[in-house]
Structure 1
């Protein structure tokens, strides 16, 4: 029953489409490499600036394509990499589907292949647990973490509740998101989606998040049905001294990297420079970004 519900949740929200659309025009260069014998597709700043590397990690069932709106805005500020992790998007499949720890190790080996010793990691949804797991195993390789709409944990349990949350979110995302997500979900398939989503609901996201010992930005949308409300998030965050900076984007749902790239890129730039969080005047509209919580160990904002 639950398998059929997940099938309807995903496929009733997307039109029939080709498995892979024509290559989109992108401000990032499209490239291939081979990691552990698997062909890995990734996008990169066409002329990498002499700046810190920033790696964008996608959500479950998806590729890095929906992360491009935000990643492209940051391409001149950071050496930007957007991989399709093994088993996702246009990358090849590993012998066995990777779980969260497996994806974290795969991300580390991708950085090895690119000659990147350490980086700031930016994730959305499943990409956030992958980052937390990466930091757990490779703490010296993560300079900063940006967790956008982190998925997993008690908020998404039991699984049936999580599936319903996903269905609600599908109705709150921009309609154009369907054209981007549909080919990825169709390729990934229902059985793989079911297994990965189940694994995410069991992942201790909050515990791993609070255990991070690096400056960490958490961004949530106040219309995201997969996350608790801002008041509840603030209550949990305030219970402990940590390195977390919590920012709300009003009017945003789950896929903020796609739906609100201007606001998100602006917040990330401010976070990276330790500047006070302020709304982006260049992104007018219903969305508004503001700081909700700054952990005791998080760097204090610098003026100027």
Structure 2
């Protein structure tokens, strides 16, 4: 039995949900974080799913079901789903550090990462901070992670125009 399996056996808190996720609670940075893991066939890297802000891990159940043989790791961000809420706003690098810490606790060294919406910005930050841990990066319906607003209104109007 691997270290991750031993840790997970100790902290399992809830039964499987429809997608086959096993739900666990891990404590890190003083917060209780709800984590879902669906065991895969052992082929390929595990896939870390990073959700949109405010969304619980159940939002991606249909996607998880479609990824039959892939090992999936997903968690409720602090303040979302059933995870604890942090006491003050975090910077994106703090969320990336939390993600790396959770992966450490679970025994994962390298993962493929898929970020959806706000999770895409986090996925980019995670890949930047921890390039050795991110095998592949997939971004879905996300932005560049920056403010995305140009400094001058005229620039925005030019960007919106189909005529260039």
Question: TM-score surpassing 0.5?
Answer: yes
Higher relative contact order (CA 8 A, sep 6+): 2
- Length-normalised TM-score, structure 1: 0.41
- The DSSP-based 3-state class of the residue aligned with 1:77 is coil
- Length-normalised TM-score, structure 2: 0.72
Q: Shift in Å at residue 65 of structure 1?
A: 1.9
Equivalent pair of 1:61/1:88 in contact (CA under 8 Å): yes
Equivalent pair of 1:85/1:107 in contact (CA under 8 Å): no
Q: Shift in Å at residue 25 of structure 1?
A: 3.4
Point out where structure 2 has 5 or more consecutive residues left out of the alignment: 1-15, 151-159
Structure 2 match to 1:27: 20
Structure 2 match to 1:129: 121
Structure 2 residue aligned with 1:102, among 74, 84, 94?
A: 94
Give, in whole Å, the separation in 1 of the partners of 2:84 and 2:30.
9
Deviations 1:82-112 (CA, angstroms, capped at 9, x unpaired): 1112222111122322222111111111101
CA separation of 1:93/1:27 partners in 2, compared to 1, >3 Å: closer, same or farther?
same
| Aligned positions of 1:156-195 closer than 5 A | 157=149
Point out where structure 1 has 5 or more consecutive residues left out of the alignment: 1-22, 159-227, 232-304
Tell me the C-alpha RMSD between the 2 structures.
2.3
Going by fraction, where is helix more abundant, 1 or 2?
Answer: 1
CA separation of 1:100/1:29 partners in 2, compared to 1, >3 Å: closer, same or farther?
same
Structure 2 match to 1:89: 81
Matching of residue 41 in structure 1 with residue 59 in structure 2: no
Q: Shift in Å at residue 154 of structure 1?
A: 5.9
Going by fraction, where is strand more abundant, 1 or 2?
Answer: 2
